[in-house]
């Protein structure tokens, strides 16, 4: 967790770094293989948005619960980009399709950040099962659930759309990875997290990020961002 000092934000129905937990469910190879088999989803964008959300959770010190299903038997390991973005966090392994049926997962949500956080920012694959089922049951158990829609996907657009409708009808709030990060930031005068938020924006949020880089360099006369040079992997 980051140690950057942060002001306490007013809540009044909004997400703050102090009132929520991020749940990331089944971000695994077999799950992404099945997303948008007819080309309705950009799989790389789904990976990118999930990585951005993971980085933002670390910047703001928001606890994360990472879970996987049938890693050895079917689904494969959590994407390495996610593990790296979370600093090596170990996932909670399950056999259940519905993570809310797994007592270790539910306990991790209840205990996150010292306990008492009643808002869940939730992403996963697929929307119709791995997202919708725990969302509905968590709401039943008294949680507010914010489904990060652009981090999710399903085998077809219809499946995804129907799942999102079902989540919303149950009381969930649809959000995006960018909207969550900006809701945590809330005020550009909060300099402790400003540079990290801008780094995530420039790295993961397309034209908005390019616009930030342009404003920095062309308007504010800042030096261009310097990224690590690509190193060609050695052959083995």
Query: Tens place of pLDDT for every residue, the chain, 236 residues?
Result: 445 567 788 899 999 999 999 999 999 999 999 999 888 899 999 999 999 999 999 999 999 999 999 999 999 999 999 999 999 999 999 999 999 999 999 999 999 999 999 999 999 999 999 999 999 999 999 999 999 999 999 999 999 999 999 999 999 999 999 999 999 999 999 999 999 999 999 999 999 999 999 999 999 999 999 999 999 999 98
SS3 state at 62: coil
Task: Tell me, yes or no, whether 150 lies in a domain.
Answer: yes
Residues 143 and 198 in one domain: no
Task: Tell me, yes or no, whether 5 lies in a domain.
Answer: no
Residues 62 and 105 in one domain: yes
Cβ–Cβ < 8 Å for 57, 85: no
> Following DSSP, what letter does each residue of 142-162 receive, concatenated?
T-EEEEEGGG-B-SSHHHHHH
Residues 178 and 199 in one domain: no
Task: Tell me, yes or no, whether 224 lies in a domain.
Answer: no
How many structural domains does the chain have?
2
CATH number where 75 lies: 3.40.50.850
Residues 104 and 205 in one domain: no
Residues 96 and 174 in one domain: yes
Task: Tell me, yes or no, whether 148 lies in a domain.
Answer: yes
DSSP state of 17: T
Residues 142 and 123 in one domain: yes
Sequence-ordered list of residues with C-beta below 8 angstroms from that of 222, at least 6 positions apart, any chain: 216
Residues 89 and 169 in one domain: yes
Task: Tell me, yes or no, whether 176 lies in a domain.
Answer: yes
Q: Which domain holds residue 196?
A: 189-219
Residues 179 and 127 in one domain: yes
Residues 42 and 118 in one domain: yes
């Amino acid at each position: 967790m980051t140690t950057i000092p942060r002001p306490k934000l007013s809540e009044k129905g909004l997400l703050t770094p102090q009132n929520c937990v991020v749940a990331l469910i089944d971000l695994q190879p077999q799950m992404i293989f099945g997303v948008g088999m007819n080309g309705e989803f950009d799989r790389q964008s789904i990976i990118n948005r999930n990585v951005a959300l993971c980085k933002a959770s670390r910047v703001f010190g928001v606890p994360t619960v990472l879970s996987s299903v049938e890693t050895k038997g079917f689904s494969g390991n959590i994407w390495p980009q996610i593990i790296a973005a979370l600093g090596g966090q170990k996932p909670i392994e399950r056999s259940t399709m519905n993570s809310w049926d797994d007592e270790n997962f539910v306990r991790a949500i209840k205990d996150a950040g010292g306990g008492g956080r009643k808002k869940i920012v939730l992403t996963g694959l697929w929307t119709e099962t791995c997202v919708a089922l725990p969302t509905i049951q968590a709401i039943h158990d008294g949680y507010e659930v914010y489904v990060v829609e652009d981090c999710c996907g399903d085998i077809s657009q219809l499946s995804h759309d129907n799942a999102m409708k079902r989540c919303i009808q149950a009381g969930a709030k649809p959000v995006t990875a960018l909207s969550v990060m900006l809701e945590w930031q809330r005020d550009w005068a909060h300099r402790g997290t400003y540079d990290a938020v801008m780094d995530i924006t420039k790295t993961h949020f397309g034209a908005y990020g390019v616009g930030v880089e342009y404003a920095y360099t062309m308007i504010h006369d800042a030096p261009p961002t310097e990224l690590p040079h690509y190193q060609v992997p050695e052959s083995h």
